[in-house]
Amino acid sequence: MLFKIENLEIIDAGAEGKSVGKKDGLTVFVPFAVPGDIVDVEVFKKKKGYAEARIVSIKTKSQHRVEQECAHFGLCGGCKWQILDYETQLKYKQKQVEDAFHHLGKFEFSTILPIIPSKNRYAYRNKLEFTFSHLRWLDDEDMLMRNIGNKLETNGLGFHIPGKFDKVLNINNCLLQAEPSNEIRNSIRTFAIEHNISFYNIRNHEGILRNLIIRNNKKNEMMLILSLTEMNNKTKLLLDFLVVQFPQITSLFYVLNTKLNDSISDLEPVLYSGAPFISETLDGIRYKIGPLSFFQTNSLQALELFNVAREFAQLTPKDIVYDLYTGTGTIALFVAKYAQKVVGIEYAEAAIEDAKYNALQNGIHNTVFFSGDIKEVLNENCTKRNGKPDIVITDPPRAGMHSDVVLRLLEMEAPRMVYISCNPATQARDLTELSTKYFIEKVQPVDMFPHTHHVENVVGMRLKT
């Protein structure tokens, strides 16, 4: 502790889920505080103009503070806003978009529409990733039990403790995914311990069980991808156990990963049992979801997001649409029946193969898909071959669009553009560049991730005349 601040009033919700107080010109970031709280804090880091602190005691609770529902709150690192009532969460997500556009982008307009709430506030995720560890995080109760001589089970399966690459919090009950997600994960841990299957040691790079991915769809069909360092009789026994114990698992994969990192995007998952994919249906369109496929994590809210994008696009049957960062073609196929043609471009070749499959199985024949670096694929030959776009829909990753892509869009001068983003700050940056030729018609925030500070945002633009 550097020093203590008493009676700090929390006045705002800031970046990364931390709340904000101010004292004598010093901005103080405090996790697990709520705007309206008055707290005593310990400052553990101080830089010029700001400090980071932890709560020592809450003197006055905010009227917006609610009791957390998750037993892992505070350690897990996720769902940091679950102590904030939902209406206030929406207020600060709306403010995040407004701040990005008015302060970062310097846009002067008042067309930011009220944020669309999430239909589900828990059990909304269709994908969760967990990590095995031979040495789980021990909480205060664990330490007490160990100190009085009790033997503790140290193998854990859960989420990384924030800032601790080698520490995993064992998760008993996560509220973000529908059952039997928790039952499956807990059964795997129990079975592995009982059968002495080693959990991974990330420091020494030893052990067999590394990661677990659980995916589901609205029908609650489950896909599991178990990441292992080797396949042997014990791991085969575990996979057989899952097949028998959980008929909801309609797609069971394993992947062998002996690399020094946990990523499996460059590895080939092996189908052990069931179908090679699960499917999700949005607005009558059926999407294939494989073990490595990208799909919007909140399926129900994805429909809301895509509806907004389609509305902002103002499609006509004569329109040629370019869908950049198309992924597995989710948005491209969603808008295809309202347009003459849709051109989807995506970096990952495997995703483009999924997009082509999705188009074929839905009987959609007015789409074409290309894989490669967007700034290179989106060239003059592309527009000559496929036609000049009437509408561009772009949904880049958090880092936003490469500056070369922005320049190409300015050169192409599509009459209308829709920009979807999970990061209003980088979106505002890109829109500042695009504003030399485009004006913003509408801005629509959408809440895809309740109890977090993350917000999705859709912007409709029109070419200046």
Q: End-to-end distance of the chain based on CA atoms, in angstroms?
A: 59
Distance set, CA 325 to CA 202, 352, 376, 377, 405 (Å): 33, 10, 13, 11, 11
Which one is catalytic: 70, 79, 382, 422? 422
442-452 burial string, b = 16+ CB within 10 Å, else e?
A: bbbbbbbbbbb
State the DSSP H helix or E strand holding residue 130, giving kind and residue range, or none if neither.
strand 127-133
User: Helix 424-434 crosses helix 403-412 at what angle (to 10 degrees)?
Assistant: 40
Q: Is the CB of residue 457 less than 8 Å from the CB of residue 446?
A: yes
Q: What is the DSSP letter of 452?
A: S
Report d(CA 331, CA 240) in Å as an integer. Answer: 37
Q: Which amino acid is at 199?
A: F
Cα four-point dihedral sign 283, 225, 245, 297: negative
Q: Is 113 helix (H, G, I), strand (E, B) or coil?
A: coil
Residue 378 identity: L
CA dihedral 284, 288, 291, 296 (to 10 degrees): -40
Q: How far apart are CA 326 and CA 376, in angstroms?
A: 15
Q: Which sign, positive or negative, has the C-alpha torsion 133, 139, 144, 145?
A: negative
Q: Is 70 a catalytic residue?
A: no
HSE, CB side, 13 Å, CA atoms: give it for residue 133. 23
Using alpha carbons, select from 161, 249, 154 the residue that is nearest to residue 207.
154
* Cβ pair 169, 189 in contact under 8 A: no
- DSSP conformational letter for 84: B
- Of the candidates 405, 409, 373, 370, the one whose C-alpha atom is nearest the C-alpha of residue 391 is 409
DSSP one-letter string for 220-259: --EEEEEEES---HHHHHHHHHHHHH-TTEEEEEEEE--S
| Catalytic residue IDs | 422
